[in-house]
Structure 1
Amino acid sequence: MSEKTLWQVSADGLWNNNVVFAQMLGMCPTMALTSSATNGLGMGLATTAVLATSNALVASIRHWVSPHVRIPIFIVLIAGLVTLVDLTLNAFLHDLYKVLGLYIALIVANCAVLGRAEAFAQRSPVIASAVDGAAMGLGFTFALTLMGAIREVLGAGTLFANAHLLLGPHFAFLETRVIPGYGGYLMMILPPGGFLTLGLLIALRRFIEIKRVGSVAPETGHTLQCGA
């Protein structure tokens, strides 16, 4: 790593270059698995494990990999890690495994994972790459969990429902009935609710960035957006 500190790398992953809200990557699991906060948290943590580990592995072998074959090698490494995560979830968190289903295997095709290996890990030391992967993964987890929480509260009046079944008994404390007696608004846990929630959160992030960075770029008249 050259100019960036570990803090800057972490800030990029969590906010400035957030996988969902800034880079608009990983839309398949984002839209499909955020009908509840529990699903979003489980998918996000699984992806975080793959991102952090794959970044560290790519960084550790970057001096021995020919540039001509780096992409196939990176994909093989990522696929192997995803297989380990898939088998681990099936063995220890089988209920969550059944809910996430095919989307665990599709982590291999998540552009954010290969993108960080190509854009950051192959040019940076192991520790910085692991931090970058962990930060990107946690930013992804934050986005999925936040979307899932909003959709679940508005769609069913609950928060982290069935967390003890999907994530294990230690997560039972997360289960909350936010709106007692609320029948729920079905649209929010259906695909239209996912698109609506994502669009509003992206708009909110842009509004925050405009307030933080500045209002309007004078030479173009366009609003400034940091980290997009």
Structure 2
Amino acid sequence: MNSEYRTLSKDGLWENNPALVQLLGLCPLLAVSGTVTNALGLGIATLLVLVGSNITVSLVRNFVPNEIRIPVFVIVIATFVTLVELTMNAFTYGLYMALGIFIPLIVTNCAIIGRAEAYASKNNWYKAGFDGLMMGLGFAAVLVALGAIRELIGQGTLFDGAELLLGEWASSLRIQLIEFDYPLLLAILPPGAFIGLGFLIAGKNWLDEKKREKLAKAPVEKAQRARVTHVS
């Protein structure tokens, strides 16, 4: 993998993560991340739309007048959202009903429109597709992490309702880790989503700061080792 693909991977998954850094697409992220299943379902849907729309925008970019590029991009995104919505309606109806309006609202996700404009419209289709894949994985990872935190603290479970996404066999994936007499509503309701996302962002910033400190100390430590070796 050359340096450009490594950069795209790092940007999508960590350095420029659409949810933790760009803070885009927060409406569905905060609204449906009450369980891992809901979060994973929306994450996969968003990923598919990102990859498909990025590739299509890249393929048609030379045929679209600059003045109408944004409306054309929105039409492309809306087409893929409709395909994903109909597929979920056909094969994962329970999850489709659980996610509700937030599936068609993927059309307005700024992360998708932003990648179409900032990257896909300026690069070839395979780079655009890879960019969409990494951004989608980064967004889905944050969704799943937030869903896991909220579900565990709120209900004491993980993968509750997994059969809605994967079929009846997946009901055995449900794990009861903590027994609650009553669910913790703060974690399940929207305030818990904001608090959980805040902790995820804080954790990322803390790790980035530790990495910067380590990189800043590296030249000094290297010079000290070199002096000790020279004296010896």
TM-score, with normalisation over the residues of structure 2? 0.87
Task: Map 1:8-19; keep pairs closer than 5 Å.
Answer: 8-19=7-18
Describe how 1:79-90 pairs up with structure 2 within 5 A.
79-90=78-89
Moved more, 135-144 or 161-170: 161-170
Residue 35 of structure 1 aligns to a residue whose secondary structure is: coil
1:6 to 1:171, Cα distance in 2 relative to 1, 3 A: farther
Q: Name the structure 2 match of 1:67.
A: 66
Q: Distance in 2 between matches of 1:16 and 1:105?
A: 28
Secondary structure of 1:5's match?
Answer: helix
Paired letter, 1:192: P
How does 1:4-83 map onto structure 2 within 5 Å? 5-83=4-82
Matches of 2:137 and 2:125, distance apart in 1: 18
| Aligned sequence identity (%) | 46
Task: Tell me the residue number matched to 2:109.
Answer: 110
| SS of equivalent to 1:153 | helix
Residue identity in the other structure for 2:125: V
Cα displacement string for residues 47-88 of structure 1 (whole angstroms, at most 9, x for unaligned residues): 000000100011111121111111111111111111111111
Question: 1:29 and 1:80, CA in 2 relative to 1: closer, same or farther beyond 3 A?
Answer: same
Structure 2 residue matching 1:19: 3-state secondary structure: coil
Unaligned runs of 5+ in 1: 218-228
Is contact 1:42-1:167 (8 Å) kept? no
Deviation of 1:92 (Å) = 0.8
CA distance in 2, matches of 1:169, 1:126: 37
Matched with 1:142 is: 141
Match of 2:221 in 1: none
Q: CA offsets per residue over residues 16-48 of structure 1, 9 Å max, x none?
A: 111111110111111100111111000000000
Deviations 1:140-195 (A, max 9, x none): 1101110010010000000010101333245445421122x233422110111111
Aligned length: 213
Instruction: Report the equivalent of 1:124.
Output: 123
The secondary structure found in structure 2 opposite 1:23 is coil
Counterpart Cα distance in 1 of 2:96 and 2:174: 19
- Alignment check: 8 A CA contact 2:93 2:164 kept: no
Q: Distance in 2 between matches of 1:124 and 1:173?
A: 44
Q: Aligned partners of 2:80 and 2:37: how far apart in 1?
A: 23
Map of 2:100 onto structure 1? 101
Supply the RMSD in Å over aligned alpha carbons. 1.6
Between structure 1 and structure 2, the one with the greater Rg is 2
Partners of 1:174 and 1:199 in 2: how far apart?
Answer: 28
Q: Are the aligned partners of 1:96 and 1:167 in contact in 2 as well (CA < 8 Å)? A: no
Q: Which amino acid aligns with 1:113?
A: I
Change (3 A) 1:200 1:70: same
Match of 1:185 in 2: 184
Change (3 A) 1:92 1:146: same
The C-alpha deviation readout for 1:97-153, integer Å capped at 9, x for no partner, is 000110000000000011000000011111111011011111111011100100100
More helix by share: 2
Where 2:139 maps in the other structure, the secondary structure is: helix
Unpaired stretches in structure 2, ≥5 consecutive residues: 217-232
1:170 and 1:5 map into 2 onto residues whose CA distance is: 41
Q: Distance in 1 between matches of 2:169 and 2:12?
A: 27
Matches within 5 A, 1:194-209: 194-209=193-208
